[in-house]
Amino acid sequence: MNYHTPVLLTESIEGLNVRPDGVYVDATLGGGGHTRAIVERLTTGRLISLDQDADALANAPDDERLIAQRGNFRYLQNYLAHHDYRQVDGILADLGVASFHFDDVERGFSFRYNDAPLDMRMNAAAQLTAKAVLNHYPESKLADIFAIYGEVPNAARVARQVVAARRTAAIVNSGQLIEAIGQCIPRGAENKYLAKVYQSLRIEVNNELENLKSLLQQSVNLLAAGGRLVVIAYHSLEDRLVKNFFKNGMFEGEAEKDLYGNVNVPFRQANSKAIVPTEAETIANSRSRSAKMRIGIRTNYNK
């Protein structure tokens, strides 16, 4: 089921600086493209690839250099300890939704299908779905989700429309959601607007930002000095967290300084600016358009 075209494949593998005898983590196995590229560069080294979606594990190559583990990367430290690893030489996290998620109607990640159920769970065994969010969250919380996670301009109005519609009947599929908020959708920008609404729901259902924060914080202890953390983000909320963490060692505020005014942070940025796909890649793979990749190199500083 390997439908996924890996984004920034060459750039991310180069950024990871793979050593043949090193130990690496692909925190998001997905379609398996990045995992395969890393494994091919190993001899005596090992790769641990994670994914919370059981379907993604089918994309893992059968290779003795690879350990494929089902799980959310927010528990990376626990999974590494289970496999007797305390530190690794590099971690890659491609935060995008795999193509097979968008293309599978039953997973509900896309608004292209009117009868698609409002699911959006990365982990099919998880309890919370987009349907539950839309039908049970209070109006004020819905407004916050649309505004903060989707940066939807008229978030409060969207929340009101959802609550009004669900009083008549539960909102259970994409068609019903689009109909419920139809008056809020600007003409000529329907797809862009709905993408924001769906993004906000997906982030809430999968607790994506908190999971990312956990991964970034764990990486400080899990990476050996000189180890690389490579993160590919697809929207400003994710990218801002990564950028701030690499720059300041925290998600908000300014970097800590010692008595002499020197900045002490656990990562040094490999590039001053985010790496983005080439024009050729965006033409070949339109889903790569919004990708931004940042590379952090672990310093000797311990928080």
Question: Encoding tokens for residue 37?
Answer: 């590229």
Q: How confident is the model over 50-75, as a mean pLDDT? A: 95
The pLDDT score that the predictor gives to residue 3 is: 46
Average of per-residue pLDDT values in the chain: 93
* pLDDT tens digits for range 20-55: 999 999 999 999 999 999 999 999 999 999 999 998
pLDDT greater than 70 at residue 4: no
Name every residue whose Cβ is closer than 8 Å to that of residue 21 and which is 6 or more positions away in sequence.
Answer: 42, 43, 44, 45
Domain stops at, among 174, 206, 238:
206
The pLDDT score that the predictor gives to residue 302 is: 66
Strand blocks (E) in 82-212 = 88-94
* pLDDT tens digits for range 194-204: 999 999 999 99
The number of angstroms, rounded, from the C-alpha of 109 to the middle of its chain's C-alpha atoms is 14
Quote the number of domains for the chain.
2
The pLDDT score that the predictor gives to residue 303 is: 54
The pLDDT score that the predictor gives to residue 245 is: 96
1 confidence band (pLDDT: 50, 70, 90): very low
* pLDDT tens digits for range 221-230: 999 999 999 9
Cβ atoms of 45 and 20 closer than 8 Å: yes
H or E element: which one contains 1? Answer: none
The pLDDT score that the predictor gives to residue 2 is: 42
The pLDDT score that the predictor gives to residue 263 is: 74
Report the percent of the chain where pLDDT is more than 70. 97
Domain stops at, among 165, 182, 206:
206
Residue 257 and residue 219 share a domain = yes
| CATH classification at residue 181 | 1.10.150.170
Residue 125 and residue 56 share a domain = no
User: Rounded to 5 degrees, what are φ and ψ at 168?
Assistant: -85, -45
Domain residues for 167? 103-206
Q: How confident is the model over 84-104, as a mean pLDDT? A: 88
Q: Looking at the domain assignment, is residue 33 inside a domain?
A: yes
pLDDT greater than 70 at residue 282: yes
Residue 82 and residue 107 share a domain = no
Instruction: Give CA–CA dist 50/26, Å, rounded.
Output: 6
Report the percent of the chain where pLDDT is more than 90. 84
67 confidence band (pLDDT: 50, 70, 90): very high
